[in-house]
Amino acid sequence: MMASVASLVQSFAFYLFAGMAVLGAVLVVAARNPVHSVLSLVLTFFSTAGLFVLLGAEFMAAVLVMVYMGAVAMLFLFVVMLLDVDFDTLRQGAADHLPMGLAVGFAILVELVVIMAGIHPGEGAAHAAAVPVSNTMAIGKVLYTQYLYPFEAASLILLVAMIGAIGLTQRVRRDIRRQKVCEQIARRRDEAVELKEVAPGQGA
Amino acid sequence: MNDILRVVHELGGGLFGFVWPGVWTVVKIAILLGIVMFCVTYLTLAERKIIGWMQIRMGPNRVGPLGLLQPLADAVKLFFKETLIPSKSEKLVFILAPALTFIPALLGWAVIPFSPELVLADINVGVLYVLAISSMGAYGILMSGWASNARYSFLGSVRSASQMISYEVSMGFTIIPVVMLAGSLNLKEIVLSQTDLWNVVPLFPMFFIYFISVVAETNRAPFDLPEAESELVSGFNTEYSAMTFGMFFMGEYANMILVSTMGSILFLGGWLPPLPFLSFIPGIFWLALKTGFLLFVFLWIRATFPRYRYDQLMRLGWKVFLPFSLLWIFLTGAALHLLGKA
C-alpha cells in the first residue's frame, strides 16, 4: 500500500512537471510579448529541474536552477526588457522561415529518437544502486579525473568568450567625468571637515 | 518528546491510514511556516524598536503593552487596504511578482537543520538548494518593476536584480571554503564538521564577506539602492499597495532571517553550543541566539551607515570581494593539502 502511494505521488509529480515544461516551451514561441516568452522559458527551466529531482539527480537540478534561472534567463530578461523594439514588425516575415524551422525541429526530433532508442531503462538505475556514493560525488570524481581535459578546455573556451565579449563591448569615453576611486579613498577627515566656532546670531 | 511523537504518529496513522505520512509532512510544513511568519512579524517590530533606541527614541509603544501588538495592527492595516493596480500595468505579471518574491523566501527553510533531528528535508545538496532558491527571488523584483510600467519602479528593479546577481556570486564563493572544510554540501554535515572548531575561526574573512554580501543581496541598508527613497521614491515597489506590497515586505524580512540562519549554520556552528559543557541546553536555543545576533547586526548596520553609491557597490562586489574570496579558496585548498586533510 505504501509503495503504491509513493509511486502515485511520483507519477503525479512527473506529469505535473512535464506538463508545465511543455506548456512553458509552447508559450516561449507562442507568446506575443517577448518578456512573457522569457518568463515562460524560466518556467520550463524550473520544471525541468523538478524532473531532475524526480530522477534523483538533485545536484543537476540545483545547478540548472542556479545557472539557467539565476544567471542566463535573468540576463535574457534584462536585455528583452531594456530593448525598445516593435516585435510585431519583426514577426511579419516569420512565415517565410517556417520550412527552415520545421526542418531543424524535425532533425532534433530524429536525433532524440535515435538517442532514446539506445537507452535501456532500468540498466542505469541498477548501476547507480550498486555504487554507494551521492551523485554529487560521482559527478565530481569523473569530472576531475576522466574528463579533466575536456572540462578544463570548456572552461578555457568560456574564459576566452568572456574576455572577447568584454573587449568587444567596452569603450572608454573621455568626454564624461569618472569616479576616481583612489582619490576618494585617500581622502581623510581633517582635509575635508573643519569645525568652526560660531557665535550666536553670527551664523549663516 | 519521542513519546509524544509516537502517540501522535499512532493517532494519525489510525485516523488517516496510509495517507498519514503526507498529512504529517503538511503538518510539519505548517508548523515551520507558522514559526517563520511569527519571527517575520516580530522582526519588523524589533527593527523599529532597536533603531528607535539607537536614535534615542521610544519606537512604537501605543498598541498593546510596550507596543508588542504593533505587528498585528500593521498586518490588519495591510489586509484591509485596497489593492491598487495601475491601469497601464501588465496585470498578470504585476500580481504574480510579489508572490514570486515571497515564496522563495519561504522555500529555503525546507533544508535548514534546527537540531540534529529537526530538519524538514535532509537533502545532500542543501547548500546548493538554498543558493538556487535565493537566486529565484530576483525574478519577482525584476517582474514587478517591468509590470508596473513606471520609470522609478523599473530603475529600482534593474538595480535590484543586478545587485542580487553580483552579490550572489561573491556569496557563493565565500561558501566554497566552508564546503571544502566539511567535505559535504549537506547542511547537517557542515554543522557537525564544526564540532571542534567553528568555521568562523579559520574562515573569519569569509564570514565577514558572507555577511556583507547577504546584506547587499537582501537589499538592506546601506545597500538598499533598489528602494532608495531619495532618488527612486520607493523603487520597485512604488506602485504596490496593501497585501501585494505586504508580500514584498514579508519576503524581505523572511530572507533576512533565512540568510542569518544560514550564516549561523555555515560559520557559527549552527545548533552547537559554544562550550561542550553547555550542551544540556537544547540546540535550537543556540541556533536562535546566533541568528538573533546576526539579525541584530543587520539592524545595527542600518542604523549606523549611510547608503552606498551604486558604482561603489558594484566595485566592492566584483573588484574586492570576488578576487579576495577566490584567493581564499586557493589558500584553503593549500592549507587542507598541507595539513594532510585532503
Nearest neighbour of A65 by CB, restricted to B18, B135, B162: B135
> Looking at the predicted structure, is the pLDDT value of residue A6 above 90?
no
Nearest neighbour of A1 by CB, restricted to B18, B142, B312: B18
- Band of residue A87 on the pLDDT scale cut at 50, 70, 90: low
pLDDT at A61: 87
B90-147 pLDDT, tens per residue? 888 888 889 888 898 888 888 888 887 777 777 888 888 888 888 888 888 888 888 8
Neighbours of A154 (CB within 10 A): 11
Helix (H) or strand (E) holding B196: none
CB contact under 8 A, B129 and A58: yes
pLDDT at B330: 92
CB contact under 8 A, B124 and A58: yes
Q: What does pTM read for this prediction?
A: 0.84
In this structure, is the dihedral angle defined by the CA atoms of residues B44, B48, B53 and B54, taken in order, positive or negative?
Answer: positive
Least confident of A35-39, A107-111, B232-236: B232-236
> Looking at the predicted structure, is the pLDDT value of residue B231 above 80?
no
Cα(B209)–Cα(B322) distance, integer angstroms: 9
B179-206 pLDDT, tens per residue? 888 888 888 888 888 888 888 888 888 9
Nearest neighbour of A81 by CB, restricted to B146, B185, B312: B146
CB contact under 8 A, A2 and B133: no
> Looking at the predicted structure, is the pLDDT value of residue A2 above 70?
no
In angstroms, what separates the C-alpha of A71 from chain B's closest C-alpha? Answer: 7
Number of H helices, E strands in chain B: 13, 0
pLDDT at B1: 59
The more confident residue out of A129 and B164 is B164
The amino acid occupying position A122 is: G
Cα(B324)–Cα(B259) distance, integer angstroms: 21
**A55 contacts in chain B (CB < 8 Å):** none
CB contact, 8 Å: B146 with chain A? yes
Nearest neighbour of B124 by CB, restricted to A42, A69, A134: A134
Count of residues in chain A: 204
Nearest neighbour of B128 by CB, restricted to A42, A46, A66: A66
**B123 contacts in chain A (CB < 8 Å):** 58
Selected residue of A66, A75, A184, A185 to mutate for chain B interface (largest B Cβ count, 10 A): A66
CA atoms within 13 A on the CB side of B240: 29
The more confident residue out of B48 and A83 is B48
Nearest CA in chain B to A137: B184
**B182 contacts in chain A (CB < 8 Å):** none
Average pLDDT, chain B: 85
The amino acid occupying position B57 is: R
CB contact, 8 Å: B187 with chain A? no
> For residue B150, what is its C-alpha cell?
513606471
pLDDT at A121: 60
**A181 contacts in chain B (CB < 8 Å):** 312, 315
Closest CA to B247 of B73, B75, B28, B26: B75
Cα(B99)–Cα(B86) distance, integer angstroms: 18
CB contact, 8 Å: B313 with chain A? no
In angstroms, what separates the C-alpha of B129 from chain A's closest C-alpha? Answer: 6
**B132 contacts in chain A (CB < 8 Å):** 49, 61-63, 65-66, 69-70
pLDDT at B278: 75
CB contact under 8 A, B123 and A58: yes
CB contact under 8 A, B129 and A74: no
pLDDT at B2: 67
Chain A residues with CB under 8 Å of a chain B CB are 1-2, 5, 9, 33, 35-36, 39, 42, 46, 49, 58-59, 61-63, 65-66, 69-71, 74, 77-78, 81-82, 134, 136, 179, 181
pLDDT at A123: 54
pLDDT at A68: 87
Contact B180, B333 (CB under 8 A): yes
In angstroms, what separates the C-alpha of A121 from chain B's closest C-alpha? Answer: 25
In angstroms, what separates the C-alpha of B120 from chain A's closest C-alpha? Answer: 16
In angstroms, what separates the C-alpha of B133 from chain A's closest C-alpha? Answer: 8
For A128, list phi and psi in degrees, rounded to 5. Answer: -65, -40
% of chain B with per-residue pLDDT over 90: 11
Cα(B15)–Cα(B20) distance, integer angstroms: 8
Average pLDDT over residues A55-65: 84
> Looking at the predicted structure, is the pLDDT value of residue A98 above 80?
yes
In angstroms, what separates the C-alpha of B218 from chain A's closest C-alpha? Answer: 15
CB contact under 8 A, B125 and A81: no
Average pLDDT over residues B282-293: 87
For chain B, positions 221-280, list CB contacts with chain A under 8 A: none
> Looking at the predicted structure, is the pLDDT value of residue A160 above 90?
yes
For chain B, positions 89-118, list CB contacts with chain A under 8 A: 90, 93
Residue with cell 568562523: B200
Burial of B205 (0-12, 13-18, 19+ CB in 10 A): middle
pLDDT at B17: 72
B246-276 pLDDT, tens per residue? 888 888 899 899 999 999 999 988 888 887 7
CB contact under 8 A, A5 and B138: no
B136-161 pLDDT, tens per residue? 888 888 888 888 888 888 888 888 88
ipTM > 0.90 (yes/no): no
For B218, list phi and psi in degrees, rounded to 5. Answer: -90, 10
In this structure, is the dihedral angle defined by the CA atoms of residues B228, B229, B230 and B236, taken in order, positive or negative?
Answer: positive
> Looking at the predicted structure, is the pLDDT value of residue B60 above 70?
yes
- Band of residue A133 on the pLDDT scale cut at 50, 70, 90: low
Cα(B98)–Cα(B251) distance, integer angstroms: 8
CB contact under 8 A, A70 and B135: yes
